[in-house]
A and B are shown apart, each in its own frame.
Chain A
Amino acid sequence: DVKVTQSSRYLVKRTGEKVFLECVQDMDHENMFWYRQDPGLGLRLIYFSYDVKMKEKGDIPEGYSVSREKKERFSLILESASTNQTSMYLCASADRRNTEAFFGQGTRLTVV
């Protein structure tokens, strides 16, 4: 059974905190993605990575950074959390051709 696992299901952080969201996949996938999911806006791509140590900005990278030190792990970092970053965050992985993306269960982040 393929698995994409996000480290937290729910998270509450204070404004200004540095926040780490972790994602691990066990399918040896080359591509990994971070999205935020908001009602009416769908999934918006924050960052993606096609290889270890490689990263590309998506459509809304401001306020975020990522790290991919190992193939199976892709971390999203909120450098200084703000209330407008309250959202559902989804991680996904796929093979090199994006044949099929597999999603994690999501992390609902609330910044207060």
Chain B
Amino acid sequence: AQRVTQPEKLLSVFKGAPVELKCNYSYSGSPELFWYVQYSRQRLQLLLRHISRESIKGFTADLNKGETSFHLKKPFAQEEDSAMYYCALSGNNNDMRFGAGTRLTVKP
């Protein structure tokens, strides 16, 4: 069965510090991995997907198939990055599953 694990429920860093949100997955095929973000009082929205290999709002994520990880990183956190972050996995049968989420707080 496919599973997405985000080990940290809460993460707090100071403005300007690096941030890394961890995501591990289990899947027997070739999954597509995503990061979604939910800002306060807004809808859940896509932040980035591994297949695009792009940087959005300074965030990057690298798919490591050997470690089955897809950690989200940003070298210098900003206060506006404070939000709930969800790692998600899409499998071969059209489903999409999410992790438990990590609440990131960036302190001034």
Which residues in A have some Cβ–Cβ distance to B below 8 Å? 30-31, 33, 35, 40-45, 48, 50, 56, 58-59, 90, 92, 94, 96, 98-101, 103-106
Contact = CB atoms under 8 A, between A and B. Distances in A.
Interface residues of B, number: 22
Contacts of A56: 93-95
Given A90-B44, A103-B45, A43 B94 contact: no
A59 B98 CA distance: 11
Contacts, number: 59
Q: Tell me whether chain B's interface is mostly helix, strand or loop, or mixed.
A: strand
A50 to B, nearest CB: 4
Interface string B4-43: 0010010000000000000000000000101010000001
8 A-B pairs closest in CB distance: A42-B100, A43-B98, A98-B90, A50-B94, A103-B44, A42-B101, A100-B46, A103-B43
A45 B46 CA distance: 17
A42 B46 contact: no
A104 B97 contact: no
B94 A40 contact: no
B9 A33 contact: no
B94 A96 contact: yes
Interface in B38-69: 43-46, 49
A42 B86 CA distance: 8
Interface in B67-102: 86, 88, 90, 93-101
Contacts of B98: 35, 42-45
Given A42-B98, A42-B101, A94-B96, 15 more contacts: A31-B96, A40-B100, A41-B100, A42-B6, A43-B44, A43-B98, A45-B98, A58-B97, A96-B94, A98-B96, A99-B49, A100-B46, A103-B44, A104-B43, A106-B43
